[in-house]
Structure 1
Amino acid sequence: MAANVRFRRPASPPPGIAYAGQTRFPQQRQHYDADEKRAAASKGFGPRRTKSYPSGGLNLTMGELKLLFLVVLIACGVRLFRLSKPHSVVFDEVHFGKFASKYIKSQYFVDVHPPLAKLLITFAGFAFGYNGHFDFKDIGKMYENVPYVAMRMVPATLGVATVPLAYLTLRALDCRATTALLASLFITFENGLVTQSRHILLDSPLIFFTALTVFFWTGFTNEDKHEPFTTNWWTWLVLSGLSLGAVVSCKWVGLFTIATIGVSTIWQLWNLLGDLRVTPRLFIRHFMARAICLIALPIIFYMLMFQIHFLILENSGDGDGFMSSEFQHTLKGRGMADTFADVSVYSTVTIRHVNTQGGYLHSHPHAYPGGSQQQQITLYPHRDHNNEWQIANATVISDYDPTSLVHITPNMRIKLLHTATGKRLHSHDVRPPVSDVDFQNEVSGYGVPGYDGDANDDWIVEIDDGDSRDTESYKRLRTLRTKFRLKHPMTGCYLFSHKVKLPDWGFEQQEVTCNKNAVHDNSLWYIETSEHVNNSPNAPKVNYKLPGFFGKFFELQRVMWTTNAGLTDRHTFDSRPDSWPLLRRGINFWVKDHKQIYLMGNPMIWWSSTLAVVLYALVRGFLVLRQKRGFRDFDNTKVVKYNTLCSFLFIGWALHYFPFFLMARQLFLHHYFPALYFAILLYCSVFDLVTSTLRPRVRLYAAGILVVLAIWNFQHFAPLAYGTEWTRAQCENAKWMKTWDFSW
């Protein structure tokens, strides 16, 4: 029995998008007469008459399973060969290895990517005894006491697993076994996918879960055409939802996969809506099932990954500065004791910026190298005794008692004394060293012992907002509750900070200036802690309202979005989307001793898949024009089958490619890989159509020629994937395009 295991072929059209009239339900089956069933079966559209209907629409013989197993073994050899080489940090292992270290040490960090792929890599390192003490600081740094091979095994294993998924997906899409084999071998010998899957990087998990989602969705679509609301139907739908959650939990590029499945789902529901045999109640069942499994389930999965992320990263780390003060105080080492609510003259306070991740107003005994050469004033994200300031009343009152509580009210003129150095917060008509423009003035620390300062030390308090829980916060400064601005009366500028950082002489801390055209949010401040010599122990105290999971989750999503959008600096090997389909340029990963790892696609596979995409678009447009002229090409069952199949894959390619044109951020060739996966499947589907009239042996020969060409291209550029030695002549002969900038 095992040797003859067969699975049901799907009703046509097999891909994720069904056309009107194709959906069949148990309730409807009685409406089809015997002649219609026989006619459909004769054209290959109807279900085979078997004793059972296993799920997914697959039709695999034992011979195919053995062949697929052999292909997987080949893929293992290709991706695991010399996996331990080089024995040093490669490209973005600098980042993702470092994040694994921080997970193991439970130190909070911020990354623009969701946590799933990083968690998988971390788990591998932890399971093999990694203690998190290697810093992954520089490309080329030699590994010491790091199970980097085990960590590289995660993307490598998922890269191998993508190979059978390509095969199974095309078989479920009702393509021939030869076509599916061709796709699996193309994925196996695609140089770019091989290179990316051999290092501690996130793209291989992303591509795996993209492929897994497409496979599960194809299986669900086939089951949906056969008989909905069965156990198998629900299984495929739930697996599709979980896989969607996984792909978007690796990288936000997974949103494009969600869009692909979303388009397919909308098309299915649209066809159901136009089918008069589908009652409103049945349509609602279909709608709700898809909404729960394809919307709610991925969201729950995605949030669960962040819950694990928060549970692991419980300690303070270098990512604190990206988060709000409330968020920071949920971390161990950042908790703050209750502080006095009242702020008064002679209170010692710490002052935080409302915007730009809320750093502290800070000074230290180092001078500006230019300008006034007075003491530096900066914004610093960490707690430090150099963040403490004492408030003084700028109006001279001879009989003023320092132990009395005189509240800080609107328009009061104050001075701020830096308690550690004795300097006063000062501004004047001198341009700052970095933001050297007319409307920006330098802010510095000025003064000497015994000197009361001058008028340029004065600041006027302007209360901007308060807290609805504390009505007094609108009337006077209250700790944590009042947002205020500080206006310099002599120049009319406002104390201001922005994301500009000082050079090394300023320890890369954030610049503070006095801005005459200050952006409102960047000139807002608040008091975080307050202490007065005359505070009674029973005086009112306040503290941060700590956020729960949802507060932390949504804040982190905003920070990730802002940080990701801010990655606009140019990189030596970045590229724009228009260059990707033509493989105009790769990425240098690692270089040493005439050996180089350079992310480079397989030209034959890359260019052929791009050609297939273009040809499909042209032929599809031509058929639409013919339809307008009265031709009935779409009455042909073969045209309908391949148009529907290729449409689904083309939409997947387009939705994973064109959105990058809207992004101003830094982009690289590897961003094209999910689209490349769809392009390869589309290329093989076109091959299936073109060879559909050929005899099986001739079709096999044609596929064999393409595979041989792909393998030859692979081995020609293999030294760039494995970092093996090659001669200068081999290197120069491999430069088929002037824009390929690898070197010997």
Structure 2
Amino acid sequence: MSGNFRVRRPASPPSGAAGSAASLTSARFPHPRQDHLDADARREAASKGYLPGKSKSNFPPGGLNLTSGEVKLLIGIVLVAAAVRLYRISRPNSVVFDEVHFGKFASRYIKTQYFVDVHPPLAKLLITLAAFLFGYDGHFDFKDIGNPGTILLDSPLIFFTSLSIFSWVGFCNEDKHKPFTESWWTWLILSGLSLGAVVSCKWVGLFTIATVGLSTIYQLWILITDIRVPPTLFLRHFMARAICLIAIPLIFYMTMFQIHFMILGSSGEGDGFMSSEFQHTLGGRGMHDTFADVAVGSQVTIRHVNTQGGYLHSHPSVYPGGSKQQQITLYPHRDANNDWRVVNTTHVDPPSNFNAPNGLRYLVPGMRIKLNHINTDKMLHSHDIRPPVSEVEFQNEVSGYGAPGFQGDANDEWIVEIDELASRDSRDREAVKRIRTLRTKFRLRHALTGCYLFSHKVKLPEWAFEQQEVTCNKNAVRANSLWFVETSMHPDLPDDAPKVNYRLPGFFAKFLELQQVMWTTNAGLTDRHLFDSRPESWPRLRRGINFWVKDHRQIYLIGNATVWMLSTLAVAAYITFRGLLILREKRGYKDFNNSTVVKYDNLCGFLFMGWALHYGPFFIMGRQLFLHHYLPALYFAILLFCGVFDFLTSKLRPKIRLQIAAVLCILVIWNFSKFSPLAYGTPWTKKSCEAAQWGKHWDFSCKDFLDDYSQYNAVGAPPTPTDGAIRVIQTTMSDPFRGQVVVEDKAAANQKDLKVDEGESTSVYIPKAEPGRDIFAEAPVKDIRSQDMPQPPKAPAAVVVEMKQISSVIPEPVVQKEYAAKDEKSKDEKPNVEKAETEQVQIQTAPASSVPVEDNEGVDPVIPPAAPADEPQKAEVKEHGPLGEADAAAEKVALELYPEEAD
């Protein structure tokens, strides 16, 4: 056996080890040559002690994995970025684009007034914190449009996106070195907190979570397919990632909403978006206990179930078209015009066991009732006339009809139908048998037409104060035709009668409800905008967003074309390279056995996945989109370019790589410098602007700039209107969350040679604020209080007029012709509602003895007070001759309604 024994050669040391260092050194080159190693290989070798003269502290094995030189470079980049960001941040000294929204949100945080936004609260809380620390009191209205360098959510979003990826890369480096160490846990927990922060700024952060999540799944897949990893070790890895990457982000996200609820404890403009139970958790919205029973004669307030629970509401204003009767709307706030009285119209009482001993008659299914509006004394009424907005055959108008002393007609009658499924309540089993306050959900069916009282998220025009439309729908969706009684009062109910109140929701119920409201509101932002764009145009930088124009200066959001194009080319290069690798593998090539190819494929593949996840989902979104939605994806594309550049230049000498990188940096700086007037709003000339319009769709207006820089010294007035500008008109009733804003230049207005037409303010030429963030687009106007009911004038008792009852449509009054004339003139002009509301409509039957009786609708029969019994009535005989305009119209309608009386 000894003769056959062969002595083995000692194992060769690893590449780069001390034993092999001699082959890399010589008398001429005493130090080890490292040119053949890339930076990652040198770090790994140094961390294991394979490179002489390099300590392990200079090349840490995981975590940051940065050398001292790279740290200095990083500090330099941060300082340059801060200088670019803070330069001229106070100019111009006004507000821009979405600042009109987010600035107001900060004000409401400071005032603790509740509001609703489509984005989570973290970024707005950070803005509020900065404002609070510097003494802001929340009283700036943010009406004027100005600089984009301050109050926007995109900067915090990009910061937390980059922090998440930075933390995750640090964790991956630690995981390769040694898992479950203190540093390993630190990076993993920091990754989870960063993911929670990015999703708490915007829901776009979910794409970042998806990016890290897919990378985590890949890591776990590698572990579970490795037969050397025992199941217990795999379980530890799985549980650690589940806790830190799922539980911690979720807890962080919910904590931000808890802070949001704690600060916004008072009632505000966002109340109308939330359920009734939610609203009553806010200060100033609490409700006293109310009677549980609803009976004939009860004074009630009725709320809609589905559309954020607005109140059934009426006010003295009339519809400008249709029947021209009193408006019925849905109003989101408490008001005296929400009060109705239940009137019974059933001739034969149905069998019921709910008639109390004191004679109260409770509302049960099948009962016919009328609803009398207490302030205006009108009945809830419907007829076969189309509504003012939803003009379709299956929709009927709902109006207020009647007058004091007038009993109305059958079109005022409604039949009660209880929805048993929605009314099931373990706390009140009687809710499915009769109407119970807060517990019973019911429908009101019109007795004559069979349609159901209905409301949906459709706003009426300004003549109805932009409140929500109420109709009578023959094909009513169940959810939009359900109502409930919120308050009930009856003079015959004793004080100790059963009472009810809202059950206040806890944190989780409020949290889930707000998520649903944010989702539905965000999905509803589908209106077009002048500067919106679709995802397919973003990588090409097809167009930007015009933020601000004033004093012959502009702020226009446009990306750095050099950075943009290089990042887009990097995406295309990786797709092409990866496709070639797949084809070569199919043909038998072993490219994936090359460690360099595998390393760069893993790096670029992760970054490409991040780009695709932050870019692709926007293609399936139907909402309004802008160029700034591409910024998170652009971040990954820039990192991908760095990876592609490193791979393509990996075979070049370090000095050549550095020179190429320097040339690219110079191009980026030159590009930024060339377009800096559009970033800072500094003077620019028309010639320079036209030379910078590289893309034919770059629609910043060069006509607004001056011909020479010296002309800017005398600029003090707004720019003269040009063809390339966007005119902004000031309106009398502007929605604070929608509409175009006028920025006035007081200095220019004081100039003697500046002539401003009367009724038109000095304006600049800017686009309106982005309505994509206007969450109140479908909400009623909150700042306009419902109109009070004017007191009717008292008519002299001695004056008597001839009466003839007409129980349907009354002829068009003279004052309503103003609306018709305006509608024919222009659809864009709004009728003067205030004028129509104050004028009193009179239907004269005797020219010499007409009585001014209040009739705000112009359609209800005029019922004068009866003469005393002891005084003989003096009926005046109408003279023969041609009828007046109002009399002729009344006569025509009377003949149509009562043809048997034509003789």
Within a 5 Å distance, the mapping from 1:259-658 to structure 2 comes to: 259-396=210-347, 404-465=359-420, 466=423, 467-658=425-616
Larger radius of gyration: 2
**Which runs of at least 4 in structure 1 moved beyond 4 Å after TM superposition?**
33-43, 50-55, 400-403
AA at the equivalent of 1:531: M
Structure 2: state its 5+ residue gaps: 1-9, 21-36, 50-54, 350-354, 705-903
Pair 1:93-2:99 in alignment:
yes
CA deviation vs aligned residue, 1:285-307 (integer Å, no higher than 9, x gap): 00000000000000000000000
CA deviation vs aligned residue, 1:570-624 (integer Å, no higher than 9, x gap): 1111111000000001111111121111110001110110011011011101101
AA at the equivalent of 1:595: R
Alpha-carbon distance in 2 for matches of 1:414, 1:48: 89
AA at the equivalent of 1:383: R
RCO higher in structure (CA 8 A, sep ≥6): 1
Tell whether the 8 Å contact from 1:351 to 1:360 is kept in structure 2 after alignment. yes
Alpha-carbon distance in 1 for matches of 2:218, 2:127: 37
Q: How many angstroms does 1:199 deviate by?
A: 2.3
Please state whether the residue corresponding to 1:376 is helix, strand or coil: strand
Q: How many angstroms does 1:403 deviate by?
A: 7.6
AA at the equivalent of 2:329: T
AA at the equivalent of 2:414: W
Alpha-carbon distance in 1 for matches of 2:12, 2:362: 92
Alpha-carbon distance in 2 for matches of 1:451, 1:124: 62
Tell whether the 8 Å contact from 1:55 to 1:233 is kept in structure 2 after alignment. no
Query: Which residue of 1 is the match for residue 153 of structure 2?
Result: 202
Pair 1:245-2:196 in alignment:
yes
Alpha-carbon distance in 2 for matches of 1:36, 1:547: 69
Tell whether the 8 Å contact from 1:352 to 1:361 is kept in structure 2 after alignment. yes
Tell whether the 8 Å contact from 2:60 to 2:66 is kept in structure 1 after alignment. no
Percent identity between the aligned chains? 72
CA deviation vs aligned residue, 1:216-245 (integer Å, no higher than 9, x gap): 000000100100000000000000000000
Q: How many angstroms does 1:694 deviate by?
A: 1.1
Alpha-carbon distance in 2 for matches of 1:696, 1:62: 18
Please give the root-mean-square deviation of Cα atoms over the aligned residues, in Å: 1.9
Alpha-carbon distance in 2 for matches of 1:473, 1:60: 69
Please state whether the residue corresponding to 1:485 is helix, strand or coil: strand
Please state whether the residue corresponding to 1:370 is helix, strand or coil: coil
Query: Which residue of 1 is the match for residue 207 of structure 2?
Result: 256
Tell whether the 8 Å contact from 1:442 to 1:513 is kept in structure 2 after alignment. yes
Q: How many angstroms does 1:447 deviate by?
A: 0.3
Tell whether the 8 Å contact from 2:63 to 2:183 is kept in structure 1 after alignment. no
Pair 1:106-2:112 in alignment:
yes
Query: Which residue of 2 is the match for residue 135 of structure 1?
Result: 141
Q: How many pairs align?
A: 656
Alpha-carbon distance in 2 for matches of 1:36, 1:492: 93
AA at the equivalent of 1:555: E
Alpha-carbon distance in 2 for matches of 1:54, 1:485: 71
Query: 1:549 and 1:401, CA in 2 relative to 1: closer, same or farther beyond 3 A?
Result: closer
Alpha-carbon distance in 1 for matches of 2:12, 2:379: 95
AA at the equivalent of 2:255: L
Query: 1:724 and 1:473, CA in 2 relative to 1: closer, same or farther beyond 3 A?
Result: same
Query: 1:364 and 1:70, CA in 2 relative to 1: closer, same or farther beyond 3 A?
Result: same
Q: How many angstroms does 1:77 deviate by?
A: 1.3
CA deviation vs aligned residue, 1:262-284 (integer Å, no higher than 9, x gap): 00000000000011111000000
AA at the equivalent of 2:386: R
Q: How many angstroms does 1:35 deviate by?
A: 5.7
CA deviation vs aligned residue, 1:167-189 (integer Å, no higher than 9, x gap): xxxxxxxxxxxxxxxxxxxxxxx
Alpha-carbon distance in 1 for matches of 2:574, 2:17: 27
TM-score using structure 1 length: 0.86
Q: Which has the higher helix share?
A: 1
Within a 5 Å distance, the mapping from 1:166-177 to structure 2 comes to: none
Query: Which residue of 1 is the match for residue 78 of structure 2?
Result: 72
Query: Which residue of 1 is the match for residue 677 of structure 2?
Result: 719
Please state whether the residue corresponding to 1:65 is helix, strand or coil: helix
AA at the equivalent of 1:258: I
Alpha-carbon distance in 1 for matches of 2:484, 2:313: 14
Pair 1:48-2:6 in alignment:
no
Tell whether the 8 Å contact from 1:55 to 1:219 is kept in structure 2 after alignment. no
CA deviation vs aligned residue, 1:435-483 (integer Å, no higher than 9, x gap): 1111110000000110111000000000003123211000000000000
Query: 1:401 and 1:484, CA in 2 relative to 1: closer, same or farther beyond 3 A?
Result: closer
Please state whether the residue corresponding to 2:419 is helix, strand or coil: strand
User: More displaced, 40-49 or 270-279?
Assistant: 40-49
Q: How many angstroms does 1:395 deviate by?
A: 2.4
AA at the equivalent of 2:117: D
Query: 1:391 and 1:289, CA in 2 relative to 1: closer, same or farther beyond 3 A?
Result: same
TM-score using structure 2 length: 0.71
Query: 1:558 and 1:34, CA in 2 relative to 1: closer, same or farther beyond 3 A?
Result: farther
Q: How many angstroms does 1:61 deviate by?
A: 3.5
AA at the equivalent of 1:106: T
Q: How many angstroms does 1:67 deviate by?
A: 3.0
Query: Which residue of 2 is the match for residue 115 of structure 1?
Result: 121
Alpha-carbon distance in 2 for matches of 1:331, 1:34: 76
Tell whether the 8 Å contact from 1:410 to 1:463 is kept in structure 2 after alignment. yes
Query: Which residue of 1 is the match for residue 635 of structure 2?
Result: 677
Query: 1:473 and 1:374, CA in 2 relative to 1: closer, same or farther beyond 3 A?
Result: same
Tell whether the 8 Å contact from 2:556 to 2:678 is kept in structure 1 after alignment. yes
Query: 1:311 and 1:367, CA in 2 relative to 1: closer, same or farther beyond 3 A?
Result: same
AA at the equivalent of 1:738: K
Q: How many angstroms does 1:397 deviate by?
A: 7.9
Query: 1:670 and 1:360, CA in 2 relative to 1: closer, same or farther beyond 3 A?
Result: same
Alpha-carbon distance in 2 for matches of 1:340, 1:34: 93
Alpha-carbon distance in 2 for matches of 1:560, 1:582: 31
Tell whether the 8 Å contact from 1:100 to 1:132 is kept in structure 2 after alignment. yes
Alpha-carbon distance in 1 for matches of 2:12, 2:368: 94
Alpha-carbon distance in 1 for matches of 2:130, 2:11: 57
Tell whether the 8 Å contact from 1:345 to 1:393 is kept in structure 2 after alignment. yes
Tell whether the 8 Å contact from 1:56 to 1:236 is kept in structure 2 after alignment. no
Alpha-carbon distance in 1 for matches of 2:583, 2:17: 28
2:661 to 677, 684, 703: 703
AA at the equivalent of 2:282: L
Q: How many angstroms does 1:59 deviate by?
A: 4.1
Structure 1: state its 5+ residue gaps: 1-32, 141-194
Please state whether the residue corresponding to 1:461 is helix, strand or coil: strand
